[in-house]
Chains A and B, each alone.
Chain A
């Protein structure tokens, strides 16, 4: 049994970089002890990736506000997933793409490699985990689903109507994004990261920009920081309101869905007028933002905030007055607090099961470090709790944006670019579905040598498998929608 070692012990006395991360090189025994520390709940696994012959692991200890990136100079390395299940899919994915060897990982199946890539084709069938028992039947779903959603395969094993096990198989939208970053310039990198998961384009662009700025020591004007916050909160509110509607739609309450869709459209139309793009793609760039908010734009955003605040109250009232709707959401798709802790699940998935983690609060970055807002949690961990957290957060986003607008004073929106050269930086940004981690390494020529992005979904998808267990097949759409994980963000 490997001894568990707390992160605090490893990084005691070491200084964090400009990005807040302590960097340390370790040997295999320490690597294993830190992995065991994740399993023992001493700290969280935040990301795991391969970088130029090394394995890297981002770890965080929220209680002490500590973060570190540890580097193990080896591609044959002691498996983290062997001790800590949340690393399992990460290690399978890294092995497929980079040929690394996680020693001791019992799951030898590929994850992103479906045997279709040119030069690596194989006819070998993917083996789903065996399920044994009487009266079981399987329902294969996807990769092409019935709705307008991303592709992925769900293999349900059911006993009558009750789901006994769900096993996911993803990777269908793997575009080889990480390879495209290598050798690209910073500007192209910004466009790429904004298309990793289109629904979180502002959050990803922000995370990437912060990582690049930390690597190069790029100073930011205050107005740019405030505008980034406005954009990120607009993105959050658009998704929260539309997913609340979509959950109601899956319980056949179409009127709420239509109402929510109108409010989402309101946010997108406002974003178009204020920032020149409905989804605000390519608006947050290293060094600042591309589009300034005019006085008229400020008025428009304020108007939107008023409408959203009123809509939130009204939707909550309607939701509360419909027992037939709540009958579908309450006690459906429960995720236990122990599981969200183990997986360090971010976003409303974690917060609805009592994990009080929000990158804006836990590892605060400007402008949230000086904004007043509450971290909203629930404890039931069901579809209802996830929906309520999202409604609560719309209220907090309205508060935040109001404060940011109050603080806007005239000034530049781009910082003077520093000399380009080698450097490293990492950042954690709270996207609407949870924290996204981006790590950037720049080569001496100032081009990107390695970019790694870890979507919040990596640590949420496996919990959806747990959430549906014991529920009826017909409640899967509700559970799935209440998670709304990203396929593209996790398939890379």
Chain B
């Protein structure tokens, strides 16, 4: 353990400087909120992640935003265990029929006001799984989506920039 401490002293902080929110993401969130209550989300958001059929690639990169390099909690973004504690649903995957009901139940268990983020190409347009009879369709065809973060999978920096847009939206 002491070696970890010594390492930290010698090498300094592993955490990178915080990026600015992504511009396209800011615009999308502003638009989405404009269409709805135009309510300021505030500086702190709790996120519930739901894998609705992903290949688990997106989950790996969501894990990465919690590592000490990206450390997303310093911006007030925190992953929580229950949808009942969440402001934001972060959904990955092409939404399989087998996860459809569980996803809707999770959505309904999340108290309003709530926001939905579609993470990865699959949640946006089913990605490479488009056309399979086992998938329902893009997340936006199932529930209102406030923000898309594209990529296969999106690298952690893109995830951080996208989620920051939720905080910075006018």
Contact = CB atoms under 8 A, between A and B. Distances in A.
Interface in B130-150: 131-135
Which of A175, A242, A258, A265 has the most B CB atoms < 10 Å from its CB? Answer: A175
Contacts of A176: 129, 132-135
B79 A148 contact: yes
Contact of A255 (B1, B62, B64, B131): B1
Interface of A: 112, 114, 116-118, 143-144, 146-151, 171-177, 179-180, 188, 191-192, 195-199, 201, 242, 255, 258-259, 261-262, 264-265, 268, 272, 278-279, 281, 314, 317-318, 321, 486-488, 491
A431 B54 CA distance: 19
Nearest to A176: B134
A175 B126 CA distance: 10
Which of B51, B69, B132 has the most A CB atoms < 10 Å from its CB? Answer: B51
Contacts of A147: 81
Contacts of A255: 1, 4
- How many interface residues does chain B have, given as a range? 35 or more
Contacts of A487: 56
A265 B62 contact: no
A486 B55 CA distance: 9
Given A147-B81, A321-B1, 8 more contacts: A112-B98, A114-B97, A144-B50, A146-B81, A150-B51, A171-B98, A258-B67, A262-B68
Nearest to B90: A148
B106 A117 contact: no
Contact of B129 (A144, A175, A317): A175
A139 B87 CA distance: 27
Contacts of A149: 51, 59
A179 B155 CA distance: 29
A390 to B, nearest CB: 17
B98 A488 contact: no
Nearest to A180: B132
Contact of A148 (B63, B69, B99): B63
B125 interface: no
A117 B152 contact: no
Which of B60, B133, B152 has the most A CB atoms < 10 Å from its CB? Answer: B60
Interface string B81-123: 1110000000001101111111000100000000000000000
A174 B98 contact: yes
Which of B55, B63, B132 has the most A CB atoms < 10 Å from its CB? Answer: B55
Closest CB pairs A-B (n = 4): A198-B57, A176-B134, A146-B81, A261-B67
A150 B97 contact: no
Contacts of B4: 255, 259, 318
A144 B102 contact: yes
Contacts of B45: none
A188 to B, nearest CB: 8
25 contacts: A116-B98, A116-B100, A117-B133, A147-B81, A148-B63, A148-B66, A149-B51, A150-B51, A150-B56, A151-B50, A172-B98, A173-B98, A175-B53, A176-B129, A176-B132, A180-B129, A195-B128, A198-B57, A199-B57, A199-B60, A265-B64, A265-B67, A268-B64, A314-B3, A488-B56
B49 interface: yes
Given A192-B128, A197-B55, A179 B133 contact: yes
